């Protein structure tokens, strides 16, 4: 057991728990944040993705110990921002959402990519989303969604 | 329950390594997956664990005239973004996993894991990378090729930690890394290849060839490389069948479900052929 402090969705949080726990379990079980989901549980699908210091990570392969003093934003926290609105509208407009299972992770990946690179090429978008699996859309619509978000949100990132 | 140590600085970290029997965790992208318990909740570590990813002393990257020094806890993504990391290493990292994994995984973790399919190892062997290894009373430097002894076998004492990866600054006419795998990312490589050469007055002055995932550890043969030095590009191209026959016996993939041996061997030889045919 150890005292673990970090920032979660804009609030400082502190908990006394086992640092070996996966960030995914802590978010879901201790904070009731169910946006990040367990898909594969082994880093391959991106369903558990969150932002750590504005960059995408997989919460299923991140130990809580590695989150100390970092800033974590889940889809719940991100959905309160202007950038989220732009990305969400872009996905809706291009048809980048079908069943929706992958969508929170895709949105996190999109935000992480645009933070680093506000005007990505198709190739850069493919790399940016390469850790997120989608069983429905065949990716092309999602690539269009990212391009649309970059255009509609020009100046935001 | 397994104890987790969270040192504040490197001194404390080395002290813990000296006093306790612990397993090191950096990014944890190998450790969490390998020790995942299928019952859910806690990770099934066999030993107490030591977390090093919060140690700022291990997060720097710098250079001198001869080498680039990469801190053990610097993320793969940060290495890729750095101006001083060798180009070949950056190109290799781009082929590893996905952005989410690269934001937390480390180079020292890829080395510590010592998988035959570890992608960075191929390029690091090619560049004659070294490691700085520390314990509470000692700092030593060792070549990566002497550090890795086999599948998941490394020569690290229980009180030691990799603190830096040290890469010589090299000049190549051309150097590249190639990975043959099923998907753009996240594929633990089926097979990887790195090749580099330097020419002067139309003669080869340096040539290096390394294969990953075709034997228990990276395959690189300096004696064979020496036999190619001094030749012209045309001479090398003319002896391509002989060259591939030299490498053939070294390529003995350990069999697993990912791909069968025959396929791997064929691809490896083709990558070598392509490298030689494209020398300019
Ligand atoms: C989805 C997914 C995709 C992947 N894709 C690839 C890929 O394409 N190519 C590839 O090569 N790998 C891949 N990997 C494997 C892994 O991400 C890499 O091996 C990574 O570099 C490990 O770094 P880490 O910091 O996360 O290691 P950790 O899991 O923290 O540690 C790995 C091992 O190294 C030891 N170690 C770590 N740091 C040190 C140190 N400073 N001193 C001594 N020992 C140390 C640990 O004790 C452990 O044995 C993938 C993994 C996942 C989950
Ligand atoms: S659940 Fe984490 S990547 Fe699939
Ligand atoms: S929309 Fe169904 S998995 Fe992507």
Residue finishing a domain among B168, B188, B213: B168
Give the integer Cα–Cα distance in Å for B196 and B209: 7
Q: Does A69 touch chain B (CB under 8 A)?
A: yes
Ligand 3, atom 3, lies closest to the CA of A134
Same domain membership, residue B180 and residue B147? no
B159 and B202, same domain (yes or no): no
Q: pLDDT-derived band of residue A130, with 50, 70 and 90 as boundaries?
A: very high
B163/B71 same-domain check = yes
Q: How confident is the model at residue B38 (pLDDT cuts 50, 70, 90)?
A: low
Mean pLDDT of the region B158-170: 98
Atom in ligand 2 nearest the alpha carbon of residue A60: 2
- State whether A66 and B53 contact (CB < 8 Å): yes
**Is the pLDDT assigned to residue B264 strictly greater than 90?**
no
State how far the Cα of A107 lies from the Cα of A64, in Å rounded to an integer: 23
Confidence of residue B43 (pLDDT cuts 50, 70, 90): confident
pLDDT digits (tens, 9 = 90+) for A88-128: 999 999 999 999 999 999 999 999 999 999 999 999 999 99
Which residues are within 8 A (CB) of A92 and not within 5 positions of it... i.e. 6 or more apart? none
Coil, helix or strand for B51? strand
Question: Quick check: ipTM above 0.95?
Answer: yes
**Among all residues of chain A, which has the CA nearest to that of B53?**
A66
Tokens in use for B173?
């006419």
CATH class of A2-77: alpha beta
CATH number at residue B189: 3.30.390.50
Question: pLDDT by residue (tens digit) across B170-191?
Answer: 999 999 999 987 655 455 667 8
Same-domain pairing of B17 and B75: yes
Q: Write out pLDDT tens, residues A27-61.
A: 999 999 999 999 999 999 999 999 999 999 999 99
Kindly identify the ligand whose nearest atom is closest to the C-alpha of B184.
Answer: 1
Q: Which pLDDT value is given to residue B167?
A: 98
d(CA A35, CA B87): 38
For residue B99, give the nearest of A63, A66, A131 by CB distance: A131
Considering only the beta carbons, identify the residue of B33, B54, B185 that sits closest to A131: B185
Residue range of the domain that includes B188: 176-277
pLDDT (mean) for A125-135? 95
Angle (CA) A133-A136-A137 rounded to 5° is 90
Q: Average pLDDT, stretch B91-112?
A: 97
- How confident is residue B262, by pLDDT bands cut at 50, 70 and 90? confident
Interface of A with B in 23-62 (CB under 8 A): 25, 41-44, 46, 49, 52, 55-58, 60-62
Choose among B27, B36, B54: nearest Cβ to A68: B54
pLDDT at B89: 98
Nearest ligand 1 atom to the CA of B23 is 47
- Predicted local confidence at residue A44, as pLDDT: 92
pLDDT of residue B189: 64
Question: Which stretches within B129-279 are classed as H helix?
Answer: 144-147, 222-228, 233-238, 240-247, 261-277
User: What confidence category does residue B260 fall into, taking pLDDT thresholds of 50, 70 and 90?
Assistant: confident
Q: Are residues B238 and B123 in the same domain?
A: no
Does pLDDT of A73 surpass 80?
Answer: yes
Please say which residue of B110, B145, B168 terminates a domain.
B168
**Percentage with pLDDT > 90 across chain A:** 97
The domain boundary, picked from B135, B168, B201, lies at B168
Per-residue confidence (pLDDT) for residue B36, from 0 to 100: 86
Do B155 and B180 sit in the same domain of this protein?
no
Mean pLDDT for all residues in chain B: 93
Reported as a pLDDT band with limits 50, 70 and 90, residue B39 is low
Distance CA B154, CA B146 (A): 9
pLDDT tens, residue by residue, B45-61: 989 999 999 999 999 99
B181 and B160 both lie in a single domain: no
CATH number, domain at B18? 3.30.465.10
Identify which has the larger pLDDT, B122 or B36: B122
Please calculate the CA angle B210-B215-B217 and round it to the nearest 5 degrees.
70
Position B187 scores a pLDDT of 55
**Residue-averaged pLDDT of chain A:** 96
**Token pair belonging to A133:** 């699996």
Domain residue limits, chain A: 2-77, 82-152
CA dist B131 and B108 (Å) reads: 9
Q: How far is B240 from chain A (nearest CA, A)?
A: 34
Number of domains in chain B: 2
Does pLDDT of B269 surpass 60?
A: yes
User: What tokens does B82 get?
Assistant: 């750095």
B263-to-A27, B96, B242, B256 alpha-carbon distances in Å: 44, 22, 20, 12
Residue A79 pLDDT > 60, yes or no?
yes
Contact of B192 with B213, CB cutoff 8 Å: yes
- Residue B245's pLDDT is what? 96
Would you place residue B210 in the very low, low, confident or very high pLDDT band (cuts 50, 70, 90)? Answer: very high
- Cβ-based contacts of A69 with chain B (< 8 Å): 54
A9 — phi, psi (to 5°)?
A: 45, 50
Q: Tell me: do B36 and B144 sit in the same domain.
A: yes
Q: Do A20 and B2 touch (CB under 8 A)?
A: yes
Sign of CA dihedral B42, B45, B51, B53: negative
Q: What is the pTM of this model?
A: 0.96
Do residues B151 and B43 both lie within one domain? yes
Classify domain A82-152 by CATH number.
Answer: 1.10.150.120
Measured distance CA(A106)–CA(A104) in Å, rounded:
5
């Amino acid at each position: 057991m150890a005292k673990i402090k970090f920032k979660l969705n804009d609030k400082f949080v502190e908990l006394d728990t086992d640092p070996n726990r996966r960030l995914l379990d802590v978010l879901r079980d201790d904070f009731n944040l169910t946006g990040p989901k367990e898909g594969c549980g082994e880093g391959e699908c991106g369903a558990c993705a969150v932002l750590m210091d504005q960059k995408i990570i997989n919460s299923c392969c991140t130990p809580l110990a590695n989150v100390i003093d970092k800033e974590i934003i889940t889809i719940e926290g991100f959905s309160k921002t202007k950038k989220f609105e732009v990305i969400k509208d872009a996905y809706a407009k291009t048809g980048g959402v079908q069943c929706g299972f992958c969508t929170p992770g895709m949105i996190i990946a999109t935000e992480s990519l645009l933070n680093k690179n506000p005007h990505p090429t198709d190739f850069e978008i493919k790399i940016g989303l390469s850790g997120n699996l989608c069983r429905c859309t065949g990716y092309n619509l999602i690539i269009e969604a990212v391009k649309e978000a970059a255009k509609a949100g020009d100046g935001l990132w | 329950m397994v104890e987790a140590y969270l040192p504040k600085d490197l001194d404390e970290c080395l002290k813990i390594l000296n006093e306790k029997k612990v397993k090191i965790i950096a990014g944890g992208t190998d450790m969490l997956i390998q020790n995942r318990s299928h019952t859910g909740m806690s990770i099934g570590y066999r030993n107490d664990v030591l977390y090093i990813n919060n140690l700022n002393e291990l997060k720097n990257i710098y250079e001198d005239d001869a080498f680039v020094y990469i801190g053990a806890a610097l993320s793969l993504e940060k290495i890729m973004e750095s101006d001083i990391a060798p180009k070949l290493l950056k190109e290799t990292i781009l082929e590893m996993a996905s952005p989410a994994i690269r934001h937390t995984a480390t180079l020292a973790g890829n080395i510590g894991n010592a998988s035959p399919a570890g992608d960075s190892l191929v390029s690091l062997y090619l560049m004659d990378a070294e490691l700085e290894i520390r314990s509470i009373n000692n700092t030593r430097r060792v070549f990566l090729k002497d550090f890795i002894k086999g599948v998941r076998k490394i020569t690290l004492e229980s009180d030691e930690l990799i603190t830096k990866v040290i890469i010589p600054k090299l000049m190549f006419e051309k150097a590249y890394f190639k990975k043959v795998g099923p998907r753009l990312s996240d594929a633990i490589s089926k097979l990887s290849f790195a090749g580099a050469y330097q020419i002067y007055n139309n003669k080869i002055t340096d040539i290096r060839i390394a294969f990953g995932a075709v034997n228990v550890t990276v395959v690189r043969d300096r004696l064979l490389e020496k036999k190619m030095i001094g030749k012209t590009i045309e001479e090398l191209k003319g002896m391509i069948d002989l060259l591939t026959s030299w490498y053939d016996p070294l390529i003995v993939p350990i069999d697993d479900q990912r791909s069968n041996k025959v396929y791997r061997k064929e691809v490896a030889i083709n990558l070598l052929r392509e490298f030689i045919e494209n020398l300019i």
